[in-house]
Amino acid sequence: MFFDRWREILETLWRHRLRTSLTALSVAWGIFMLVILLGAGSGLQNQIEYEFRDDALNSVWIRPGRTSQPFEGYRVGRRIRYDNDDFDAIRERIGNVEHMTGRVYIRGSALVSYGDRSSTFSTRAVHPGHLHLENTIITDGRFLNVLDLRDRRKVAVIGRKVAEYLFGTEQPIGEWLSIGEVRFRVVGVFDDTGSEGEQRMIYVPITTAQVAYGAGERQDQIMFTIGDATEAEALETADEVRELLAGRKRFAPNDVRAARVSTPIAEVGRIRALFGAIRAFVWVVGIGTIIAGIVGVSNIMMISVRERTKEFGVRKAIGATPYAIVSTVVQEALLLTSAAGYVGMLAGVAVLELVDRYVPENDFLRDPQVDIGIAISATIVLVIAGVLAGFFPALRAARVPPVVALRDE
Amino acid sequence: MIELRSVNKSYRTGTNALHVLRDVDLTIETGELVSIMGSSGSGKSTLLNILGILDDYDSGDYRLNGELIRKLSARRAARFRNRHLGFVFQSFNLMPFMNAVENVALPLYYQGVSRRKRLRTAEEYLERVGLLEWADHRPAEMSGGQKQRVAIARALIGKPRVIFADEPTGALDSGTSEQIMELIEEVHREGITIVVVTHEADIAARTQRIIRLRDGAVVSEAS
């Protein structure tokens, strides 16, 4: 009897194909759009988080700049650059410096060679503290240390891609490679959670590079971490650094373009706020889509029940109880909306999966996924709406005396 | 089989009460073929609806097969109709989306008979009304006479004690009406009580007894 009843319901749905497909479409579309929207939202969030995962967030980055205001008789547009004394001054005067490093870029992409293999890789001359600024993971050997700097040792720590290219399966530790004209001994190999570019990097002691490549006392960039400082503390530290440098280099303390001091944590905060707004927007649109689905389903169910008033009258005349009428309509609605909702959900998840698999890495979306619990809840909400939308008109129709329903107009 | 005592029924339309049935007394014996005649507005359809438990009445007694029928719940009324009564309507009232055999089988669905069994039974009843080869056709593909035969088969399948026919030939030409009346007489000969509501004298004349209604009251009973 159970299968018999469902067979009857399936046949009714099949006989009213147009109505069935319209209802199914409105439910499936609602769920589909919700899944796509939520997926796009999560893809956006994942991409933003991915872009920041390479660097330590709680850090201050100091890059050279040009003055944008005249100060004490100096002209506008004067270049501000840093040297070892500025580095020491920051370390001594700024309170919450944790790990600190300078950076010297070796001019041009130096040709790096080992044996008969060579290629161009970027080389950064840094302090040991650099390890904590990029998410550098030593996989073999060690990173640079204070002795390397004190003795200006010619040692290098190479990225995974560099090791793979130059050494293949050979053990690189202890081998000598050339960076431009200078030979360095490999003391460590690292991996990096950031982009492939980070894995094609070579680190050498900053003191060695300043001598070997004629950089003198120059430092192209200075950065340091600030422990577990809050966003407000980070911004405050950045201001302190700029004021310190303003005093040393003679530029206006509020000239943000003279010394470009940035704090990733503050940028992340801004982007997180933006993302929160986007997520709220996604939810508003998603809920709107669901409501449109509910309205669509309700309309179709109400119209369909009204259309069938006469049919119900005949069924009652030949022995259908009101319960049989109502339960038939409710079961039809239940089957239709849940099947359609399921299909919409599957289609949405499938589209997200295809996007994830076939759309190349880009700057907008990464790993778009939907919380399946949310998708299921939304489907359940639509199913309940569909069932209620069928239930109340069906109840009314079932209460109409058969005489009234059968009256020929 | 059917016993009405002083049955009254009125409809309220706004402030006016329309007294449709006035103190109707009526007895129909088991196995009778009876017609109820009257002009439109005489209350004959209302009477049929009360007899068929499709509608309720205000006062009086209605006994069907000795059982008092009064203010039954919708559920009990449906049970009663399903087990004991059969209906034939002027406009056939077949399900347009079902074929002939499914239409005939429908009452058995509400009796909880399995699909296979009720379709087999429905075929037997279709054969009885001479339409077995039309089993797979939908009502839209059939003539009026054929549709009414399907409706009669549907009324018969529940093995009712009484069949109520409301203007069964009202939508048919005279030749087809003749065939439908022959079928009704044939069903009657098998011992089923039949009540035909009509305003056509020649149809009424073919029944054993004519009950005439005027302005909601029984004016004469003639055999």
Can you state the percent helix, strand and coil of chain A, rounding each to 5? 55, 20, 25
How far is Cα of residue A396 from the mean position of the Cα atoms in its chain? 51
Mean pLDDT of B177-202: 91
Contact A128, A138 (CB under 8 A): no
Q: Does B82 touch chain A (CB under 8 A)?
A: yes
Which residue would you say has higher pLDDT here, B170 or B221? B170
Give how far B168 is from chain A: nearest CA, Å. 14
Q: Are A314 and B95 in contact (CB < 8 Å)?
A: yes
CA distance A131 to A53: 14
Total-model pTM: 0.65
User: Looking at the partner chain, which of A318, A401, A406 has a beta carbon nearest the beta carbon of B110?
Assistant: A318
Mean pLDDT of A73-94: 85
Cβ-in-10-Å burial (0-12, 13-18, 19+) of B100 comes to: buried
Closest by alpha carbon to B209, among B2, B62, B53? B2
At B208 the pLDDT is: 92
User: Looking at the partner chain, which of B75, B90, B154 has a beta carbon nearest the beta carbon of A318?
Assistant: B154
Give the residue on A whose Cα is nearest the Cα of B83: A319
Q: What are phi and psi of B18, to 5 degrees?
A: -100, 110
Cβ-in-10-Å burial (0-12, 13-18, 19+) of A146 comes to: exposed
CA distance B191 to B179: 19
Mean pLDDT of B20-29: 91
Contacts of B83 (CB under 8 A, 6+ apart): A319, B111, B158, B160
Which residue would you say has higher pLDDT here, B101 or A330? B101
Q: What is the pLDDT of residues B43-84, one digit of tens each?
A: 888 898 899 998 889 999 999 988 898 888 888 888 889 889
Which residue would you say has higher pLDDT here, B208 or A276? B208
Q: Answer yes or no: is pLDDT of A109 > 60.
A: no
At A335 the pLDDT is: 87
Q: Tokens at residue A200, please?
A: 């094609």
Q: Which residues of chain A lie closer than 8 angstroms to B78, CB-CB? A: 316, 319-322, 324
User: Looking at the partner chain, which of A4, A7, A317 has a beta carbon nearest the beta carbon of B87?
Assistant: A317
Mean pLDDT of A104-125: 82
CA distance A109 to A196: 16
CA distance A297 to A363: 38
Q: Are A402 and B54 in contact (CB < 8 Å)?
A: yes
pLDDT band at residue A35 using 50, 70 and 90 as cut-offs: confident
Contact A325, A395 (CB under 8 A): no
Handedness of CA A392, A396, A402, A406 (dihedral sign): negative
Q: Answer yes or no: is pLDDT of B130 > 60.
A: yes
At A363 the pLDDT is: 65
Could you tell me whether strands A111-114 and A176-179 are parallel, antiparallel, or unpaired per DSSP bridges? Answer: antiparallel
- Provide the b/e sequence for B1-33 (b: ≥16 CB within 10 Å): bbbbeebebbeeeeeeeeebbbebebebeeebb
Q: Are B49 and A408 in contact (CB < 8 Å)?
A: no
pLDDT band at residue A205 using 50, 70 and 90 as cut-offs: very high
B residues 136..175 contacting A (CB < 8 A) = 154, 158
Identify the CATH homologous superfamily for domain B30-59+72-222: P-loop containing nucleotide triphosphate hydrolases (3.40.50.300)
Q: Are A319 and B74 in contact (CB < 8 Å)?
A: no
At B223 the pLDDT is: 61
Domain locations in chain B?
30-59+72-222
pLDDT band at residue B160 using 50, 70 and 90 as cut-offs: very high
Q: Answer yes or no: is pLDDT of A182 > 70.
A: yes
User: Looking at the partner chain, which of B56, B78, B109 has a beta carbon nearest the beta carbon of A8?
Assistant: B109
Q: Answer yes or no: is pLDDT of B86 > 70.
A: yes
Q: What is the pLDDT of residues A68-83, one digit of tens each?
A: 888 888 888 888 888 8
Q: Are B54 and A408 in contact (CB < 8 Å)?
A: no
User: Looking at the partner chain, which of A4, A311, A321 has a beta carbon nearest the beta carbon of B74?
Assistant: A321
| DSSP assignments along chain B, one per residue | -EEEEEEEEEEEETTEEEEEEEEEEEEE-TT-EEEEE--TTSSHHHHHHHHTTSS--SEEEEEETTEE-SS--HHHHHHHHHHHEEEE-TT----TTS-HHHHHHHHHHTTT--HHHHHHHHHHHHHHTT-GGGTT--GGGS-HHHHHHHHHHHHHHT--SEEEEESTTTTS-HHHHHHHHHHHHHHHHTT-EEEEEES-HHHHTTSSEEEEEETTEEEEEE-
Q: What is the DSSP letter of A130?
A: G
Give how far B119 is from chain A: nearest CA, Å. 12
Give how far B199 is from chain A: nearest CA, Å. 17
Q: Are B97 and A16 in contact (CB < 8 Å)?
A: yes
Q: What is the pLDDT of residues A39-67, one digit of tens each?
A: 888 888 777 777 766 666 788 888 888 88
Mean pLDDT of A181-198: 84
Mean pLDDT of B98-115: 91
Q: Does B74 touch chain A (CB under 8 A)?
A: yes
Contact A58, A226 (CB under 8 A): yes
Q: Are B52 and A319 in contact (CB < 8 Å)?
A: no
Give the residue on B whose Cα is nearest the Cα of A403: B54
At A270 the pLDDT is: 79
- Which amino acid would we find at residue A310? K
Q: Are B110 and A320 in contact (CB < 8 Å)?
A: yes
Mean pLDDT of A21-39: 86
Give how far A312 is from chain B: nearest CA, Å. 10
At B188 the pLDDT is: 93
At A2 the pLDDT is: 65
- Which amino acid would we find at residue A395? L
Mean pLDDT of A82-104: 86
CA distance B222 to B213: 12
Handedness of CA A257, A262, A266, A272 (dihedral sign): positive
Q: Answer yes or no: is pLDDT of A409 > 50.
A: no
Q: Are B87 and A398 in contact (CB < 8 Å)?
A: no
